[in-house]
Structure 1
Amino acid sequence: MLDPQPLQNKTVLITGGAARLGAMSARFLHAAGAHVIIHYRNSAEKAQALQAELQRSRPGSVSLVQGDLLDFPYLSRLVDDALEATGQLDILLNNASNFFPTPVDEVTEQQWDSLFGVNAKAPFFLAKEAASALRKSSGCIINMVDIHAERPHKNHPVYSMAKAANAMMVKSLARELAPQIRVNGVAPGAILWPEGNANAKHQSLPRIPLERAGRPENIARTVLFLATAEYITGQIIAVDGGRSVQQ
């Protein structure tokens, strides 16, 4: 029989967990019994609302931490803050992401640093800082990758390259941190479109074999699956309606 709360007595840290895919993942992991630590940068109101929502069913089961992942010294403090909540860390979900266009003729060094900083540098060094605690719990790391790590997104070369680094991180760390720590990734396809981009959905749907957009719940279920899949490591699951196999 399936355990209705497979993550009971587990602690998960979710970067960028106050909204969008991070928030939905927080809901699923919390429903599975985990103590959820939601990291946010500027979304204090959303983080507090999500905390209140989840704690209505289980008081004291959600913690909030605030900080900028581009502030390198903060990364070690973030792990320390997470450990203060329950004294352990079982799952690190590297969900936070920066996404914006960088046409080659216009891209700046600051944009490069922002995209690589949040999408590649921060997840790697958070994994490094969290490794000791995760070894103790035989825990896991889950990275939010992107199907554009393999198929570059037009006018988004730096983002695509940063996510490609993120994908290789999953495979590299799966070898480096084994056997105590599992490392996997989720690569969303057409799930949520950037705000203010009304044409993105119209352009994307014809390229999807299932001919429909996905929902945040599709990503969250995959995150939960990987959090509990004790014999899977080094894998990236595309949740994209078949987009990655389309010509």
Structure 2
Amino acid sequence: MTEAPVSENGRVALVTGAARGIGLGIAAWLVSEGWQVVLADIDRARGAKVAKALGESAWFLTLDVSVEADVIQCVAQILGQFGRLDGLVCNAAIADPHNKPLESLDLQQWNRVMAVNLTGPMLLAKHCAPYLRTHSGSIVNLTSTRAHQSQPDTEAYVASKGGLLALTHALAISLGPQVRVNAVSPGWIDARAPSVRRAEPLTEADHAQHPVGRAGCVEDVASMVAWLLSRNAGFVTGQEFVVDGGMSRKMIYEE
């Protein structure tokens, strides 16, 4: 018989980039575990719609994580509404890993990726930390297996995720022992909308190349994030958890 998870009822979590994909999956999972979840995203219309669909335990705020004034206002609204903050999930990112070839890479594009993917989590940690300390809270940063391996023309994204991985263990040391900080690095996660997945399913080869026999889904990531936020992970901080079906351990050579 599987032991029931520790109840997290009454706790409040902020999930950024929560209007779709992995962020939405994390928010939905936390709601199912009894959390009050604040979904934050730059997409106001979609964010408000999905938060309403999740029910009374979900609340939406518009947020550009790269703007410090917006982060400050977001945290103030959460404290005003709920009076506490127990968990922070930094998922918002410019997710397309590909950019122009290095010789043509626009500095403005590089800076925007860094601002959202790396500076954003720093700003959120900075302004959430005092309230997370009060309740022995936790931070989970969504990094990527691309922090360790690359394809051509992915410099901005890869550098931002590598930096976020390093920021994770730096924060763990600075904010401990009151606040734990960990990272989850997804591999191939099919985070498309259900209608798109049905219309354009992945191929058997897409699934078979993974040592576990399938590509990932948002629930694979969400369940790991939920565990790291929970008190069951109380002895875990400064760590990276790779959720990629074993692909980063698979030796691949062209034949």
TM-score calculated relative to the size of structure 1: 0.89
Instruction: State the match for 1:18 in structure 2.
Output: 19
Instruction: State the match for 1:53 in structure 2.
Output: 53
Distance of 1:176 and 1:162 partners within structure 2: 20
Whether contact under 8 Å (2:183, 2:240) holds in the other structure is yes
Instruction: State the match for 2:222 in structure 1.
Output: 220
Distance of 2:189 and 2:229 partners within structure 1: 20
Instruction: State the match for 1:182 in structure 2.
Output: 180
Instruction: State the match for 1:67 in structure 2.
Output: 63
Gap change, CA 1:156 and 1:204, over 3 Å in 2: farther
Q: Which portions of structure 1, spanning 4 or more consecutive aligned residues, are displaced by more than 3 angstroms? A: 1-5, 193-196, 200-207
How well do the aligned residues superpose, as a CA RMSD in angstroms? 2.3
Whether contact under 8 Å (1:29, 1:224) holds in the other structure is yes
Instruction: State the match for 1:241 in structure 2.
Output: 245
Count how many residue pairs are aligned between Structure 1 and Structure 2. 240
Distance of 1:118 and 1:135 partners within structure 2: 24
Gap change, CA 1:117 and 1:206, over 3 Å in 2: farther
| SS of aligned partner of 1:142 | strand
- Paired amino acid for 1:161: A
| SS of aligned partner of 1:12 | strand
In the TM superposition, 1:127-166 aligns within 5 A as: 127-166=125-164
- Paired amino acid for 1:73: A
Instruction: State the match for 2:91 in structure 1.
Output: 95
| SS of aligned partner of 2:150 | coil
Report the alpha carbon displacement of residue 85 of structure 1 after superposing the two structures with TM.
Answer: 2.2
Report the alpha carbon displacement of residue 158 of structure 1 after superposing the two structures with TM.
Answer: 1.1
Distance of 1:160 and 1:201 partners within structure 2: 26
Identity score, percent: 29
Structure 1 residue runs of 5 or longer lacking an equivalent are none
Distance of 1:125 and 1:202 partners within structure 2: 41
TM-score calculated relative to the size of structure 2: 0.87
Structure 2 residue runs of 5 or longer lacking an equivalent are none
Report the alpha carbon displacement of residue 136 of structure 1 after superposing the two structures with TM.
Answer: 0.2
- Paired amino acid for 2:61: V
Report the alpha carbon displacement of residue 63 of structure 1 after superposing the two structures with TM.
Answer: 1.4
